[in-house]
Structures are given as structure tokens and as C-alpha cells.
Structure 1
Amino acid sequence: MSTDAAILVRRPSGPALTAREISDVLTLTTDPLTDPWHHVVGADGSKFRLRLSSAPGDLSGPAVESSGAGERDYDCFVHVSIYWTTEDTDDSIGSLRAFCRSLVAELHAVWPEAESVFEVDDAYSYRVLPEPSEGVVDLRLGSGAPPTEPGFSLVEAANRAASGTGLVFTEDEPGRHIVPSDGAGDSVTYTVSHRAEELPFAAGARSAAAPADARQLGEFTERLLAELARHTDGADLACWVNGRLYRYEVELTPPLD
């Protein structure tokens, strides 16, 4: 069981994100170019170390089985290590996942167009902004265990999370959306997309087409993930927008109070 994680982030077009820019967003107190490790306390009191790098050898991605000729490098690699948890938490993997998701949320709040991926103990988190400004949102919930509350409905949870976005979800049919990745030349996207496509079906929801910009989609999925973490145990969520994988979260971590 690993207590380390690799977060990778890139801007799909335009100038590459730099370690300095990422350090500024994460409000690290030491210079990423001169001090290799940065010490940060998480929301639950756990202590972490961060290292930022733009070295080519660090940028192939945690989801890559083997290097391919068509693979695109990420802009920045963030190595996260947990070295102390509080007595109340005492869950290094859960704390590490929650901390990584909080870092990624900070980065996407500033660069909603960014693509990010990270891995903690074989559990992946992936997010990339779909290009269309109006789209159909497909959700698939997979779970090794049933929801912790009888009668839990993904459709109802999605509609609560979508309040104010214009998205309205209805019941989906098992196995309907198996969407091949359009990034076969990019081994990170390709690998994560295929993992999402193989997600066992526990529940699904599908919206009609409606405008949904990057920030709305980000806020919607954050609210949905928080709700699912409270009502499910060990669930995974994949979200497609217009047939392209937008977000994939494995083994949801309950929100930290």
C-alpha cells in the first residue's frame, strides 16, 4: 500500500504551465525551483510533502503502462507524500486521496481548461474539460458494495447536485454508454478512458443537452462526488460529456469535516 501519489497537470493548448505558476496557486511558502520539498498540512491535520518537477522523466503519467511514440508530456509533475496522520483520521490512503483532490480542485479553479490525472494506491482520478459548451452529460456509478442508504438514487443525487446548471437527469439503462477513447495516441488519456469504460454498472443517469460551462461542470461534479461519498461505500464514478470522458473518480473518499 503506497503512501505516495503523482499528480500530473497540463494545459491542452497554449504555453505550458510552470512549476512556479502551480506553486503560486497552491500558495507554497518555499521556492519550487530552489527547494525540492514543500511541507503542507491538510484539512484533516495530516502532514504532507510536495515536490514539483517539469523534468521529462517525471511527466509520462501514473496511468501509462509503457511509453508510446504518440504520448504527450504533461506540463508539471507534483509528487505528494504523506508522512503523518492525526489520531482521529489514522487513514493515510484516504487522507492522501482527499488531499490530492483538494490540490487538483485548486488548480482547476484557476485553469478550468487544464487536464489532470493522479493515482493513489491504484485508484485513479482524471479530469479534462470537454470542448463543446452545450452537451449531454452521462454518469455511470460502479460500486463493489451497495449504497449505504436503502433507496439511494443516482438520478436524484445528480439532479440535486445540478441545481442551477440547467442539467436535468433521467434514469439510464445498464451498459448503454461504452464510449471508445478518442485519444488512442495519448497513452494517459487512453488508459484512463478504458478503465472508465470497464467500470461495472451499478447505476446510471443521463441529461438532456443543456449549456454547461467549465466552472459549472466542475462545481456540479464536486457537489455530486461529495453526496456520493456520503451515501455509498467504495463507489467509482465516470462522467462523460458528449461522448468524451470528462471525469473519472475511483473509490470516492468521504468529505473531510
Structure 2
Amino acid sequence: MSTDAAVLVRRPSGPALTAREIADVLVPAADPRTAPWHHRVGADGSRFRFRLSAAPGDLSGPVVDGTSSGGERDYDCFVHASIYRTGEGTDDSLGALRAFCRSLVAELHAVWPEAESAWEVDEAYSYRGAPPGPMEGVVALRLASEALPAESEFSLVEAANRAASGTGLVFTEDDPGRHVVPAGEADNAVSWTLSSRAEQLPFAAAARSTAIAPLDARRLGEFTERLLAELARHTSGADLACWVNGRLHRYEVALPPLPD
């Protein structure tokens, strides 16, 4: 079990993101004395360090669609993150590391909504992509959790509709086993993670949008962030997969509960 994480990010079109641009977001007042490592405190009080690299040997990562070689392609920047002290009362170092990586990625996507990112903790990839531009699409959600509340206490459909308020999306129940990994997404590490985890912890709840609404990267990102916050209040260790028009848009592994 590793307490290190690999985070990869790329801009699908236009000039590649540079390590300097990313540092300006993640470490806006970088102290030269911390180079090449930067230090942060997570939401639970855990302490982390990370470094940025744009060296060619660090940039290979999983591809979910598009041209690839061996299921991988080059990203623009690599972030190596590690935890060196858990917060008081925190005994889940992997959960803390995942939450930290998710927060870093959220900061980057807030600035570049169209970015694509993949991050690996304990040999399991999470992923976040974006459609190439404004589009209309069907959103499919799948949720697996070791601690999913009783049906009377929690509804993925209700949670999704609360998160989708103002977007034009409307969700109804769907078959959890109907949409797992499209055939075109089989040869990459993200979908391998999704498939292998689904074998151990099958999707137990599903929702599908019935209203076709205009979607873009920012609105999708805001919707999924609200949904993740909603899920964190009701579930523990949940996996959430989100497809748009059959293309994997976001996959989150082992969501931690909200800190007290």
C-alpha cells in the first residue's frame, strides 16, 4: 500500500499547460525555500507535499478515448503527491490522500474546466474529462458503496436532481448493470480500474437523465462537484461513475465522508 499519488493533467486543445501555470494555481505564493517540493495541509489536518514535473518521462498516463499507444498518452504536467502526517483523529491515510488529490484537481478544473486529468492512489485511477465544447447529452450515473444507506434513507435520483438544479437535467432511476464500460473504452487503465472494482463492489444505484440539456465543461464540473458533496453526506467509500453520451466523463474512487 503506497501513500504516494500520481496526478496527471492536460489541456486537450491549444498550448500545453506548463508547470509554471499549474504552480501559479496550486502555490500562488511559492516559497523558493520549499523547491522542488511544496507543502499543504488538507481539510482534515493531514499534511502533504507535492512537486510538479513536465519532464517527458513523467507524462505518460491513461487515455479514455482518442489516439493512444498501449492505452496511454502524454499529459502536460505530472504532480507527485505524498502524505507525511495524518491529521489528529485520522487513521485513513489513503482516504486523506485521495481527498487531497481531488482537491488539487478541483482547483485546476476551476481554472481550466476543459482540462483532462487522471490520478492514481493505491493502484486505482480516478478520472475527470470534459466534452470538447457546448453540447446536448444524456448523463448516466452509477454508484457503488460499501455503506449505501437503506433505500428509504437515500436516493441517487433525488441526490442527482438536487445537484442538477438549474442545469435543465432531470434524472430518473436506471438499471445499475446496464451501462458499465462501453466497448470502445476497454483498453485503458481508468476503465480497467472501473471494471475490476465493479466486480468486487457492483454498482448498486443508477440514474439517467431524461431531459436533454445544453452541457459544457464548467456546468458539468459544477454539477458533479455538488453531487459528490451530496454523496459524501450519505455514503462512505463510494465509487461514482458519470458518462455523457456514452463517454466516461468522471470516475471517482472511494469517496471519503465529509470531515466533521
Alignment deviations for residues 65-97 of structure 1 (CA, whole Å, 9 cap, x no partner): xx9457320110000011112213343222211
TM-score by length of 1: 0.88
Q: Is the 1:52–1:79 Cα contact (8 Å) retained in structure 2?
A: yes
Give the aligned CA root-mean-square deviation in angstroms: 2.5
1:65-214 aligned at under 5 Å gives the runs: 68=69, 71-131=72-132, 133-147=135-149, 150-180=152-182, 182=184, 190-197=188-195, 199=198, 200-208=202-210, 209-214=212-217
1:218 to 218, 221, 227: 221
**1:19 paired residue number:** 19
SS at match of 2:6: strand
Question: Using the alignment, how far apart are the partners of 1:21 and 1:113 within structure 2?
Answer: 15
Q: Is the 2:114–2:218 Cα contact (8 Å) retained in structure 1?
A: no
* Aligned AA (1:47): R
Q: Note closer, same or farther for the CA distance 1:30–1:62 as it changes in structure 2 (3 Å cut).
A: farther
SS at match of 1:251: strand
Tell me the CA shift for residue 169 of structure 1: 0.1
Q: What 5-or-longer segments of structure 1 have no aligned partner?
A: none
* Aligned AA (2:256): T
**1:40 paired residue number:** 40
Q: What 5-or-longer segments of structure 2 have no aligned partner?
A: none
Please tell me whether residue 5 in structure 1 is matched to residue 5 in structure 2: yes
* Aligned AA (2:193): R
Question: Using the alignment, how far apart are the partners of 1:115 and 1:256 within structure 2?
Answer: 27
* Aligned AA (1:212): L
Tell me the CA shift for residue 194 of structure 1: 4.1
Question: Using the alignment, how far apart are the partners of 2:148 and 2:35 within structure 1?
Answer: 46
SS at match of 1:218: helix
Tell me the CA shift for residue 197 of structure 1: 5.0
TM-score by length of 2: 0.87
**1:54 paired residue number:** 54
SS at match of 1:157: helix
Question: Using the alignment, how far apart are the partners of 2:183 and 2:18 within structure 1?
Answer: 28
Q: Is the 1:17–1:76 Cα contact (8 Å) retained in structure 2?
A: yes
Question: Using the alignment, how far apart are the partners of 2:31 and 2:185 within structure 1?
Answer: 35
Q: Is the 1:179–1:244 Cα contact (8 Å) retained in structure 2?
A: no
Aligned residue pair count: 250
Q: Is the 1:12–1:113 Cα contact (8 Å) retained in structure 2?
A: yes
Which stretch shifts more, 242-251 or 192-201? 192-201
Q: Is the 1:135–1:212 Cα contact (8 Å) retained in structure 2?
A: yes
SS at match of 1:16: coil
